[in-house]
């Protein structure tokens, strides 16, 4: 079923998505003002922002498969915003940790990053996200060149994997949630592997192309 919105409709879709992506933050702010953050507000905020970072990373990774399956090429126009919102929630998550958990104590943060493997992995994922966010503009794509930009942005596969490992390692008993994220990531990465293999096969006749 082919569907292509007009530029005006696409603008509205983008605006709706922008508002929708701010809902988790709005809910957190509302909960903070109404005493809805529970008995451990820091843990609540850390967990909520962490979950949304990972969810938005996976939603960003779902754009290309969805675009290919539906033929809705315009979906690609939403990907940058989704990726930047993943980074936005990662910044909130990291800020909560640095501010409310570690009280801006650099020595305590370094010690924690070195000592606790799940923090090491989460921290690595966050650091790797920075160059992707910094090169997300059209101007940066032009400056780097399409190929180099694409190679750099393949890092998102590693970042999402580190995000899942970070979640898995911090959970002490019930690993159902991280397992669901791991399964979703496996489907999204598996889809890409199959697509690449099909493109490489001599019968396909299509050139190999890599896209997030
Ligand atoms: C791309 C980067 C990251 C992703 C995707 C991510 C994701 C997550 C997720 C999904 C959770 C669990 C939420 C839940 O329990 O429902 C979490 C918790 C947490 N994350 Fe991250 N995280 C990232 C980076 C970081 C960084 C940089 C730090 C700190 C240096 C950090 C520290 C924590 C802490 C302290 C918790 C709570 C642990 C607990 O409840 O005991 N994360 N994160």
pLDDT tens-digit readout, 92-115 = 999 999 999 999 999 999 999 999
Residue owning tokens 């890092």: 155
CA nearest ligand 1 atom 25, residue:
122
**Using CA atoms, how far apart are residues 12 and 181, in angstroms rounded to an integer?**
30
Q: Say if residues 91 and 36 touch (Cβ distance below 8 Å).
A: no
Residue in 40, 49, 93 to alter for ligand 1 test, most ligand atoms within 8 A of Cβ: 93
DSSP state of 17: H
Find the 102 Cα to ligand 1 centroid distance in Å.
14
DSSP state of 6: -
Cut 0.95: pTM above it: no
What six digits make up the tokens of 156?
Answer: 């998102």
User: Which atom of ligand 1 lies nearest, measured to the CA of 86?
Assistant: 1
Kindly report, residue by residue over 157-181, the tens digit of the pLDDT. Answer: 999 999 999 999 999 899 999 999 9
pLDDT of residue 208: 46
């Amino acid at each position: 079923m082919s569907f292509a919105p007009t530029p005006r409709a696409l603008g509205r879709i983008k605006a709706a998505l922008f508002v929708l992506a701010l809902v988790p933050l709005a809910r957190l702010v509302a909960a903070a003002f109404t005493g809805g953050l529970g008995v451990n507000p820091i843990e609540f905020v850390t967990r909520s922002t962490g979950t949304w970072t990972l969810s938005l990373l996976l939603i960003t990774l779902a754009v290309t498969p969805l675009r290919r399956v539906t033929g809705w090429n315009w979906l690609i126009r939403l990907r940058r915003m989704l990726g930047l919102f993943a980074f936005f929630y990662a910044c909130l998550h990291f800020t909560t940790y640095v501010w409310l958990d570690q009280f801006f104590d650099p020595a305590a943060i370094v010690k924690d990053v070195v000592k606790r493997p799940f923090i090491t992995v989460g921290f690595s994922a966050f650091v790797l996200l920075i160059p992707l966010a910094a090169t997300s503009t059209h101007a940066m794509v032009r400056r780097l060149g399409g190929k180099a930009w694409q190679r750099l942005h393949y890092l998102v596969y590693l970042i999402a994997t580190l995000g899942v490992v970070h979640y898995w390692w911090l959970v002490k008993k019930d690993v159902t949630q991280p397992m669901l994220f791991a399964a979703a990531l496996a489907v999204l990465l598996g889809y890409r592997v199959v697509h690449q293999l099909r493109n490489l096969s001599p019968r396909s006749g299509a050139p190999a192309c890599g896209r997030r």
